Amino acid sequence: MALILPPGESDPARLLDGLDGVVLSGGGDIAPHHYSGDAHESIYGVSDERDHFELELARAAVARPDLPFLCICRGMQILNVALGGDLYAHLPDLGCSTVEHRLPERMHTHHRARVAADSRLAARLGSLEVTVCSWHHQGISRLAPGLKAVAWADDGVIEAVEHESHASCIAVQWHPEMQLDDPAQQRLMRSFVALAAGSNP
């Protein structure tokens, strides 16, 4: 059974007691003050209530190494910021990207990502190169302690991370839930469900 956890709970950690797994989904940008970032005209959809809730939820989930934990797009950025990392406010400002991570008017697009051969993500995807559904304008700048980059776009932007000590924590910058006709993305989602059900993916 899927449950939605709305922001507003004063103690997000207690919500994990009755859950078999957690997914941090996509959404608007994180307020830059959470990672000592600067305001930028491209930042949109900020919700301080959601930020505070999900940052605490991410820290609590990481503290439970047996809890399957999948982070998607904004969710990956939340994970990185929650653990002490920071973000690029707007990837096009870097001026060196040859990859479209999002189309104008905030539309999704697709691009290639290469995956580290020794990663848990590669095992779940069953592939070292995937086409991903990309819908973001921000990305990881400084990687948080405890996280390891395991996938990259052709321009070097980090596309996925794993937690070094939490074996069931994987985060992707793309949207696998929008690619369920793709065998690799389907395997990723099925592996999470299997872990949450207590079986081998």
Output the six-digit token pair for 53. 């809730």
3-state secondary structure of 84: coil
Whether 9 is catalytic is no
Find the DSSP H helices in the chain.
48-62, 74-82, 120-125, 183-196
Closest CA to 160 of 102, 79, 105: 79
Whether 41 is catalytic is no
Strand stretches in 73-136, DSSP E: 87-88, 109-115, 129-134
How large is the angle between the packed helices 74-82 and 48-62, nearest 10 degrees?
A: 70
d(CA 73, CA 84): 17
Please tell me which residue in 73, 111, 136, 137 is annotated as part of the active site.
73
Whether 175 is catalytic is yes
Output the six-digit token pair for 142. 């400084």
Our measurement of the distance from residue 31's CA atom to the centroid of its chain's CA atoms, rounded to an integer in Å, reads 16
Please tell me which residue in 52, 90, 100, 177 is annotated as part of the active site.
177
- Catalytic residue IDs: 73, 175, 177
